[in-house]
Amino acid sequence: LCANAVEEMIKFHDPETIAAVIAEPISSPLGCVVPGDTYWPRLREICDRYGCLLIADEVITGFGRTGKMFATGHWGVVPDIMTVAKGITSGYIPMGGTITRGEISDAFIGSQKAAFKHVITFGGHPVAAAASLKNIEIMENEGMVENSARMGSSLLDGLKEMKEKYQMIGDVRGLGLFCGIEIVADRETKEYFPAEADLANRLSQGFAENGLLLRGGDRMNLAPPLCITSSEVDDVIRILDKVFAQTSQDLGL
């Protein structure tokens, strides 16, 4: 239905006026919402049908975060353009980039008139480029993407078990080491806790006091390092369980 809505919007505005469709493979702002298996293949089909470019925003999901090098790989989809950052250097130095199909980049080569003239002061920084190349080399040599898939599966299993224990956990979801927890006051209505419950501060403080840096709130994203170990995943689950137990008690749930 969501992909069909994109098609309806393209038709409403006239396909001739639509240059591209851009989307995150997994929605971070919504709390790590993982789309259905047909969503991205359907987007690819729609963009091909109407002559639109498909742009995947892999800034968060790229470079192993979801258990694949790029999240669109889970659905066998190759976008026309990808935006990347964050994980390309593991945060050691700022770096962002745009990856395109060859025919797109070739369009900017051959004449001064066609040249891509949108430049930034620190674009092509050699130190950032060196850091990204070495980071990718380490990820490949040490199996970080595969570890993300394995540890992410264990993490999500632990979150699912907690959901069965605590009514305040309305949903858990994720792929690889990118998991989300949704906190609700009522599972049936999906209603969130009122502001006076001070939920975000309660949770954030509880996590911090127990050694876990995680922003509390209605929707919480967990994105631990790709090198996390099995025992560390167990520690994360243990701390979450302890804090949810205490918070549930404090709120009379």
Q: What is the pLDDT of residues 178-190, one digit of tens each?
A: 999 999 999 999 9
**Residue 110 lies in domain:** 2-141
Of 79, 110, 141, the position where a domain reaches its end is 141
| 21-25, 71-75, 193-197, range with the lowest pLDDT | 193-197
Residue 87 has pLDDT above 90, yes or no: yes
Tell me, yes or no, whether 152 and 137 share the same domain: no
pTM confidence score: 0.91
Q: How far is CA 186 from CA 183, 246, 251, 253, in A?
A: 9, 18, 13, 11
**Structure confidence at residue 118 (pLDDT):** 79
**Structure confidence at residue 218 (pLDDT):** 93
Tell me, yes or no, whether 35 and 89 share the same domain: yes
Cα gap 216→198, rounded to integer Å:
10
**Structure confidence at residue 132 (pLDDT):** 97
Domains contained in the chain, number: 2
Q: What is the mean pLDDT of the chain?
A: 95
pLDDT-derived band at 98 (thresholds 50, 70, 90) equals very high
**Structure confidence at residue 230 (pLDDT):** 98
| 49-58, 119-128, 234-243, range with the lowest pLDDT | 119-128
Cα gap 66→176, rounded to integer Å:
4
**Structure confidence at residue 252 (pLDDT):** 85
Residue 117 has pLDDT above 80, yes or no: no
Give the tens place of pLDDT for each residue, 124-176. Answer: 899 999 999 999 999 999 999 999 999 999 999 999 999 999 999 999 999 99
Average pLDDT of the segment spanning 38-58: 97
Query: Token digits for 25?
Result: 């493979």
Residue by residue, what is the 3-state secondary structure of the chain?
Answer: CHHHHHHHHHHHHCHHHCCEEEECCCECCCCCECCCCCHHHHHHHHHHHHCCEEEEECCCCCCCCCCCCCHHHHHCCCCCEEEECHHHCCCCCCCCEEEECHHHHHCCCCCCCCCCCCCCCCCCCHHHHHHHHHHHHHHHHCCHHHHHHHHHHHHHHHHHHHHHHCCCEEEEEEECCEEEEEECCECCCCECCCHHHCHHHHHHHHHHHCCCCCCCCCEEEECCCCCCCHHHHHHHHHHHHHHHHHHHHHCCC
CA-wise closest residue to 233 among 212, 248, 253: 212
Region for 206 from its dihedrals, namely left if φ exceeds 0, alpha if ψ lies in -120 to 50, beta otherwise: alpha
Tell me, yes or no, whether 112 and 18 share the same domain: yes
Tell me, yes or no, whether 89 and 180 share the same domain: no
Of 111, 141, 171, the position where a domain reaches its end is 141
What CATH number did the domain enclosing 175 receive? 3.90.1150.10
Cα gap 106→1, rounded to integer Å:
35
Residue 122 has pLDDT above 90, yes or no: no
Residue 42 has pLDDT above 90, yes or no: yes
